[in-house]
Amino acid sequence: MKNDVRISIHDLGLMDYRKAWERQTELHNQLINNKLADTPNLEQHFILCEHPVVYTLGRSGSMDHLLLSQKELSQKGYTFYKINRGGDITHHGPGQIVGYPILDLSYFRQDVGWYVRSIEEVIIRTLADFDIQAVRIEKYTGVWIEGSPMRKIAAIGVHMSRWVTLHGFALNINNDIHLFDHIIPCGIQDPNKSITSLAAELGKEIAIEDVKKRIIHHFEAVFDVQTIEKAPYINTKQ
């Protein structure tokens, strides 16, 4: 195990993107402040949740990749945020598992490439439990299913400050993949690449809780840590 580090699992359920972002930031800042105070970061965090329909644009993204106007977003009841993760534009919605590991990589490996590949590995192993063989693609982050077209099933976008991680991944399970039609996902304009979900690949819906359990299991193995489940988070901010 990594220096007795324990990972607290925070299952937030269906939560507004901004509220989840605030919770991420709160935990992220705690780890950074501990680090600056030379206090061991033996409790670190892994948030799992779903979001109402939202589009987010990373630091390197282009507004041209959002195909809806602000008026159209408002009419449809969708939200949009520019955020500080890497990558371009993506979509989150109900039926999609979003994972936010908040880790001090000083206890693991201070290597962004290793970290992203490790998250990909967690997802690849999880999908294998559902008889889906997923792969990586050179030059593209995320997790894909081979074929024609190549189908992206999970997106990854991260941010780091003092080697403490923020943001994470989105794994499509039962979500409406047609909501990706309102963007150019991850800025990838290639007719041989599309978006898919676990339900679309298997032809049936999958219990979200079953997938979460497998994600946590493989997260423990890949990152060589133990996890503990935290009590449900209550947002006291108005």
Q: Which helix (H) or strand (E) holds 43?
A: strand 43-50
Q: Each residue of 77-86: b (16+ CB within 10 Å) or e?
A: ebbbeebebb
Cα–Cα distance, 223 to 207 (Å, whole number): 25
Query: How much is the pLDDT for 230?
Result: 82
Q: Provide Rg for the chain, Cα atoms.
A: 17
Cβ contacts of 203 within 8 Å, gap of 6 or more: none
186 carries an active-site annotation? yes
pTM for the full predicted model: 0.94
**What count of other Cβ atoms lies within 10 Å of the Cβ of residue 232?**
9
> Which tops the pLDDT comparison, 1 or 236?
1
Annotated catalytic residue, options 66, 186, 195, 225: 186
Query: How much is the pLDDT for 236?
Result: 54
Write down the architecture of domain 6-229 according to CATH: 2-Layer Sandwich (3.30)
Domain range list for the chain? 6-229
pLDDT at 185 over 90: no
pLDDT digits (tens, 9 = 90+) for 105-158: 999 999 999 999 999 999 999 999 999 999 999 888 999 999 999 999 999 999
Inter-residue contact 78 to 127 (CB < 8 Å)? no
Q: Model confidence at 237, in pLDDT bands (50, 70, 90)?
A: low
Q: Which of 52-61, 83-92, 123-132, 224-233 has the highest mean pLDDT?
A: 123-132
Minimum mean pLDDT range among 169-173, 207-211, 226-230, 234-238: 234-238
Q: Model confidence at 189, in pLDDT bands (50, 70, 90)?
A: confident
Cα–Cα distance, 30 to 24 (Å, whole number): 10
Q: Which helix (H) or strand (E) holds 89?
A: strand 89-92
Cβ contacts of 22 within 8 Å, gap of 6 or more: 235, 237
**What count of other Cβ atoms lies within 10 Å of the Cβ of residue 57?**
22
